[in-house]
Structure formats: structure tokens, C-alpha cells
Amino acid sequence: MLATKDPSGVARRRLRRRYGCGARCRLDLPRVPALGTDAGNDARLKLAGGEQPASRPRHAARASVAPRGYDHEVQLAFTTVDEFHSLLEQAGEALDYREVWPRLFPVGNCPPELMRTLVADIVQSDERFAWESDVHVGLAAWHAQRRDLADVAFTVVDLETTGATPGFAKITEIGAVRLEGGREVDTFSALVNPGVPIPAMITGITGIDDETVAGAPPIDVVLAKFVDFAAHSVLVAHNAPFDLGFLDYELGRLRRQTFPRPALDTLRLARKLCPQQRCSLSALSYRFDTRVKPVHRALQDAQATGELLVLFLSWLQEQGMTTLEEVARFCAPGTRRNYHKIAHTEGLPTGPGVYLMRDGKGAALYIGKAENLRRRTRDHFLQRQAYRARQALELLERIDVVETGSEFAALLLEGRLIAKHKPPHNSHGTRASSYHYVKLSAEEYPRLYSTPNLREDGSYYAGPFRKASVARRFVDCINGAYPLRTCTRMPRAAGAHACPRAGTGACLAPCSQAPNGDYAAVVAAVSRVLDGHAEGLDERLRQRQAALVEALAFEQAARLQHQREALARALRGVRRLRDAQRADVVLLYPAKRRGWIALWGIRAGSVVVEREVGRSAFDERAAHGFLAAVAASEPHRPPLPAAAIDEMLLVHSWLEHHRASTNCLDVGALVRGEEPCDEAASRLLARVCACTHEAGAGPCPPPA
């Protein structure tokens, strides 16, 4: 066993050199004996800020470093090296030293450079350890146990089940293909009798019903055969946690065992190798033109996954990954791979603002707002995140922030930056061009349909709706209740035959007969529904649904229920936009500069005037000018452009929760001409003084 260097002297010199504490930095660091010896295994490295009480435990010793570049307490205690060795043996794979550090060294706020240096002292001084990468530490004995990819057998498996939760749902089919040397050498396919009814939804997806599995063996018989088939191989699946979750559950129930690890996941590989692309099995299969296409049956899906695995492994080998352990580490969860990037959050401000995650080329990956920028950005690394946010961490190279002074300003700026940059990993605010309207055309006999296009053609437009499916279902519901025509071009020839909808009474058929004013009445009723007044329509649908239930026509009644739900959802959106356009207010919040106030003039739900004013310079004349600009502004009028509704709905949502606060001043009476501008200006000045006082800037100066 090699003797360690003197980490006490190393740490002392490093701390003094880095933090400039010189003679003022007292470091009572006992010399640590050789690691691996009894004395060395029990040794502790202490950074002490003075004499410690005799009764105080040794691991609680603290250091007080003079505050020059670093003013935090540093607590450091070496656990035994054997404990580090045991931790690696239990994990069975290399570990990121930044993750194991809290378990081995209970140190608060330790700088990353010092953290790595102290770990490097251990690795270099003990032949049992070895660096696997820049951040991963493993056991040197593993090098002789590495498995070359060319020598590894893979069993690619896929399951069909009755649901998504192991234990509650059961396996109905197991399909697998065994790959050796990159070639398919054997296949496994077996139906399983789940012992429970198969839901109709599952049958519609897989084609497997109760009759199909009636004569199939139970899972305990099939699983035993699969265990033999997969022996001495590495399991692979697309979305492996799902398939291995079921397999481990059943094997644990039958034998108190689980399938061996590591296992590979082609979904994780695809998301790493093909970022910003759809990575479902079907999408990957058609993109890379696999010989076998997935059809929601176990064997075919496993064969398609196997072809993708061979392709992905060849790509990884080109990148220098030639062993199973390297590929398994490449597949590790994103939180483990990207935790070291939390260093980008050091030094960020703690106030409100907007943060932009950027890649190596400076392109925006993800944009978010925060009440506390440092805390929110750190949450991306410390808490479970949505898939899009995790993908952004994969490519993250730096984090830029913009301080705003208030959470409302951050909310507005976030939406505007998202609309401008359209970051690929933001899900909201990037698809305004795909919003849909419900259009009642300006023709002799209007028709109703959904469209993403807004034109000045005299037609009536409702919306826009953020989801095209909501607009389409809204149209289907109205066309099913009112006899409007649906043909894109109405025949003009004399004696033209009416469409099939006319024969069922679903259309007044203006193409074959004069409606005699009935069509205009229907158009007027539809216009009321598009305005948000659909009480009569919902009552008609409810009565029709009740009649179908009495006639035992439950499937038709269920379809009507879906129509009523679609109608209610669309109308909520119409009414919400209508309510948003009624807001005429001024919002006041502290600006970034101390003693300044940010003002937003909102007319008909849209932000029309924005200013930052100093407390001392904002007098009655300035308030009068600001309010005059708000009243004279021309807001958006229906139909609203798609690019405007995101910010309008953000403002509306904010006002719903903050309208009663002192930061919100209603100027509706001023806009309608019911209040003199001088009175409104006096109210605005009072609110500005109240806001500055709440912000801790002191009372307003007396008027001149």
C-alpha cells in the first residue's frame, strides 16, 4: 500500500494561496498517516478556526477563513478510504466525485477546485482507485473486467401489457431478439395469459384480446423460458424502465430476484444522439428505415429496437466508446450527467428576473423567469425537471440573466424573449403561428371552419385558440347542431343535387333551394355562440343526450358528452379573451434601480405604455402625461392577432390575482371619459408614493 501525501499541508497551502488568508488563516490540520493503515483509516483532516472544546466531536471541527475571496465556513472531515472503496463496490460502477462528496466528506460550501484536488490526492495515493473520466472515479480492478462491445451478447426485449403499472397491470406478450456480434442469432415470442380482462383500449392498440390469450400459458411458465433465453446477456429495451419494471416485478414475485444490470435503453441513447427530434420507436424506425417496422406487437417491436441498437452502438464506437461500461455510463440519467453544470449558477443574483440557458454557440435553449434567479436556476439541477428542461441541460454551456426588479416585469420579459428567440425546449409561447381561429365566412351563405390564417375579408373570427384540436372540435360541435353548409364550393348549376347532409336535415342545402331567410337566422344563432353565449346550445345538447340515454343509446350519448365538453372548453377560451380585453389599468412595481418605479399602462388588456420613473422627478404633470398616453393609445381590436394573445392572457392572469393590491390602479373611468385626468393623476401619484415606501425607499418628497 502506497503512503499518502500530506493532505494537511496541501490543503493549508492551497487555501492560503487561493483565498489569500496568509497568516490570518489558522488551519489546525494534523498530519494524516498512510492511507490503508489502521491509523490512516481512522485519521481525520480538520480545518479549525481556533481551539476546539474537548467534548466536541472531531468530525464537527470547523474552519474560519478570513473573508477575502471566500467568506464561508469550511467544514471538512475525511472518512476512511475503505468506506470510499466500499461505496464503489456497492455501486458496481464509476461514480461522479461531486455526487459522492457529501456522503464521504461532510463539508459545507466547499469550492469545486478544492473538492477535486482533495479527491485527486486520494486517487493518486491509493492504487485501488482510478479515474474513469474527468469526473468519474472507479476501482482499478475493474479495468481487467471491462467487457468489449464486440464480445457482449444483447437481449432486446419488448412487452405488451394490460396497463402501465406493474402489479396492477399484467404482461400479455413477451418478444425478444438475441444479438451477438451485431447479428440476430435467435428470437423469442410468447403470448401470456394475464388472468385479467384486457381493456378494449389495449386491444385497439395491440390487437390482443381475451380470446387471443385464452389458451396461452401464465407468466410463471413464460418468464422461466425467457430467463433461460436471456441468460449471460445484457437486456435492452426502448424505454427500459417500463419493460424492466414489469419483468423485475414478476421475477421478484416468483423468485425474489431481479434481472441483472446494467441494462441499456435505446430511448435514452436516441435522446442523446438525436437531440431535438422525436424519439418514439415508430419515429426512429421510419427515420432510419429499419427492416422491421414496429406494429405494437412484442417481437416486431423488439426486432426494430435491435436494429436501432446496432446503429447507435456503431455511432458510439466511432466516438471512442468500445466497452459496455462506457455505453452504460453514457445512458446514465441526466441528473447524474449534468449535475456538475450547477457551477454555472454560482454568483447569480438573488432578485427577480429572466434567465436564458444557452448552448456552446450562444443559441437560447430554454428561457424562464424567477422570483429568485439563483434559487430557480439551481432547482434545475437539484429537483426533477420536465423532459424539455432536462434536454436543455444536456447542451447547456452558460446561463445569462436579466434582472428586472419585479416578478411582473420578469413575466412580461420572459414571454417576449420566448416569442423572439423561440427556444427549442420551451413548450409555451413558441407556436403562435400555429394558433387557429374559428371562422364564419363572409359569403352569401356562410360556412364555419377552423383556420390558422387571419385575413381582413369581412368574416367573423373567434379566437385564436392555442390548440388547433380545440378549434376543430368547436367547429364540429356547432356544425353538428346547426344546419350550416360545409362544402368549400357551393354548386351553382341549375338543378344541382344536394349533398348527403341535406337529406338528413344537417344542412339547409342553399345549393338546391332558396332558404327563405332560415339560413340567415341560423347564421345569427351561430354568431351568438361564437360570442360566448351558448346557453341555448348546451341545453339542446343536454336534452338530446338525455333522450339517447333513455333510449339506451349509450355510445351516441357519450359522443354528445364529448361534444359538450369540447364546447365548454372552447367557450372558456372565448370568454377569457373577452374578459381580458376589458382591463384598463396601470400597474406599478419597483424598477431595478433603487428609488425608481416601473409603470405599465394597460388598455383593453394590452400593454400600450411602459416607463420607468424616478420618485423625485415623477410629479403631477408627468403623471398626467403618462395617463394621457394610455387613454390615447389604440389597443388591439377583434379579431386579435395570434402574436398578441399570449401576453394579453399573461396580463389577465396576473390581474386576476393582484387586482386588489396597491400596485394596480384602475383607470377604466378615465378611458371611458367619466373621470377627469387630473383626478386620475392624483390617484396615480399616491400609488407611486405608496409603492416606493413599500419598497423601502422612504417617503415621497413634498410636492413643489
Q: What string of H, E and C letters represents the secondary structure of 625-679?
A: HHHHHHHHCCCCCCCCCHHHHHHHHHHHHHHHHHCCCCCEEECHHHHCCCCCHHH
Task: Report the 10 Å Cβ neighbour count for 513.
Answer: 10
Report pLDDT digits (tens) over 507-557.
Answer: 877 777 767 778 888 888 888 888 888 888 888 888 888 998 998 888 888
pLDDT higher than threshold 70 for residue 2: no
Look up cell 462506457; give the residue: 326
Distance, C-alpha 161 to centroid of its chain: 27
Report pLDDT digits (tens) over 119-128.
Answer: 888 888 888 8
pLDDT higher than threshold 50 for residue 345: yes
pLDDT higher than threshold 70 for residue 477: yes
pLDDT higher than threshold 70 for residue 597: yes
| Confidence grade of residue 264 (pLDDT, cut at 50, 70, 90) | very high
**Opening angle at CA 189, ends 185 and 192, nearest 5:** 155
Q: How far is the C-alpha of 334 from the C-alpha of 626, rounded, in Å?
A: 50
CB-based contact 229:186 (threshold 8 Å): yes
Contacts of residue 575, Cβ cutoff 8 Å, sequence gap at least 6: 532
pLDDT higher than threshold 90 for residue 146: no
Residue 644: the pLDDT is 83
Q: Outline which parts of the chain fall under CATH 3.40.1440.10.
A: 334-430
Distance, C-alpha 53 to centroid of its chain: 50
User: Which of the two residues, 349 and 46, has the higher pLDDT score?
Assistant: 349
Tell me which range, 57-66, 567-576, 637-646, 692-701, is most confidently predicted by mean pLDDT: 567-576
What values do phi and psi take at 617, rounded to 5?
Answer: -90, -10
Residue 503: the pLDDT is 66
Coil, helix or strand for 312? Answer: helix
397, three cell numbers: 454551456
What residue type is assigned to position 549 of the chain? Answer: V
- Name the maximum alpha-carbon separation found in the chain: 109
Q: How far is the C-alpha of 226 from the C-alpha of 127, rounded, in Å?
A: 41
Q: How far is the C-alpha of 665 from the C-alpha of 684, rounded, in Å?
A: 7
Long-range contacts, stretch 101-108, CB < 8 angstroms, 24+ apart: 104/78, 104/79, 105/76, 105/77, 105/78, 105/79, 106/59, 106/75, 106/77, 107/74, 107/75, 107/76, 107/77, 108/72, 108/73, 108/74, 108/75
Q: Outline which parts of the chain fall under CATH 3.30.420.10.
A: 149-330
Whole-angstrom CA distances from 15 to 24, 58, 101, 334 are 12, 20, 18, 32
558, three cell numbers: 357519450
Query: Which residues carry out catalysis?
Result: 296
Least confident window among 72-86, 334-348, 665-679: 72-86
CATH of segment(s) 149-330: 3.30.420.10
User: Which of the two residues, 267 and 83, has the higher pLDDT score?
Assistant: 267
pLDDT higher than threshold 90 for residue 157: yes
**Opening angle at CA 321, ends 94 and 142, nearest 5:** 35
Q: How far is the C-alpha of 143 from the C-alpha of 145, rounded, in Å?
A: 5
Residue 206 host element (H or E): helix 200-206
| Confidence grade of residue 105 (pLDDT, cut at 50, 70, 90) | low
DSSP code of residue 447: B
CB-based contact 285:304 (threshold 8 Å): yes
Sheet of strand 183-191, all strands in order from the earlier edge strand to the far edge: 183-191, 171-180, 153-161, 234-237, 264-265
Task: Report the 10 Å Cβ neighbour count for 311.
Answer: 16
Contacts of residue 622, Cβ cutoff 8 Å, sequence gap at least 6: 613
Least confident window among 58-62, 116-120, 233-237, 397-401: 58-62
CB-based contact 273:391 (threshold 8 Å): no
Residue 473 host element (H or E): helix 468-481
Sign of the torsion angle spanned by Cα atoms 341, 347, 348, 350: positive
Look up cell 402489479; give the residue: 167
Mean pLDDT of 343-358: 89
User: Which of the two residues, 601 and 3, has the higher pLDDT score?
Assistant: 601
User: Which of the two residues, 207 and 386, has the higher pLDDT score?
Assistant: 207
Residue 541: the pLDDT is 87
276, three cell numbers: 431535438
| Confidence grade of residue 165 (pLDDT, cut at 50, 70, 90) | confident
Identify which of 463, 511, 465 has the alpha carbon closest to the alpha carbon of residue 486.
511
Identify which of 444, 431, 439 has the alpha carbon closest to the alpha carbon of residue 455.
439
pLDDT higher than threshold 70 for residue 17: no
334-430: in CATH 3.40.1440.10: yes
